[in-house]
Amino acid sequence: MSHRGSANPNSSAPEPSDSLQVLLEATERQRDQALARQNRAQALLDAAMGQAEQLRDYKASCQDRWGQQFRSGASITLLQVYQDFADRLHGAVDLQGRQIERLRADVARCEAETLAAELRVASIDKLIARRRAEKLIKTERREQKQQDEYAGRMAWQAGQDGGGSLRFASLGSSSGGAAAAYPGAPSTAEWGRG
């Protein structure tokens, strides 16, 4: 005999809240990974900005030193050497500046990814809280319904028990009146003597 299609009430199928909890944990891991990427990008940017500052200080120091030498007199060859060196130093500063701009863009992109991940975590967390609240309300309503049904059964049972007792009491108290209601019927004393 085939039982296909019949549901097992005792099956351990995961509840929706369990699935949401798994989703929340996965989203939190994604958020943490995005935050780690953001921190690495920020560290690279900070390092690049530090190097750029060092290059600017070095460039200013060279300009001061060469300027003092030129004021005391310098040959054409020395001027050409300085110009070549200054051009390369200026190119290094510009290259570092472009590197900083690229790293700033990376940081901004990582910050956006982290923010999006944070919003997803908050959204799922809020959904879980709402589902828990709905489940609690359903449980309270079900328990209240069970209590009301139980109270109704008890009240009905009490009414049945009380009504039966009253009927038996009425019959017992009216045994003497039966002889009056029916002439010729034996009295209680006569039943006892017979």
Least confident of 18-32, 45-59, 67-81: 67-81
Confidence of residue 168 (pLDDT cuts 50, 70, 90): very low
In angstroms, the CA 41 to CA 86 distance is 31
Percentage of the residues of the chain whose pLDDT score is greater than 90:
35
The residues, any chain, with a CB within 8 Å of residue 111's CB and separated by 6 or more, are 38
- Closest to 23 (Cα-Cα) out of 116, 136, 120, 133: 120
pLDDT value, residue 35: 96
pTM for the whole structure: 0.57
Domains present along the chain, CATH in parentheses: 16-135 (1.10.287.1700)
Contacts with 131 (C-beta within 8 Å, 6 or more apart), sequence order: 16, 17, 20
CA nearest neighbour of 93 among 65, 56, 118? 56
Confidence of residue 16 (pLDDT cuts 50, 70, 90): low
pLDDT score of 108 more than 60: yes
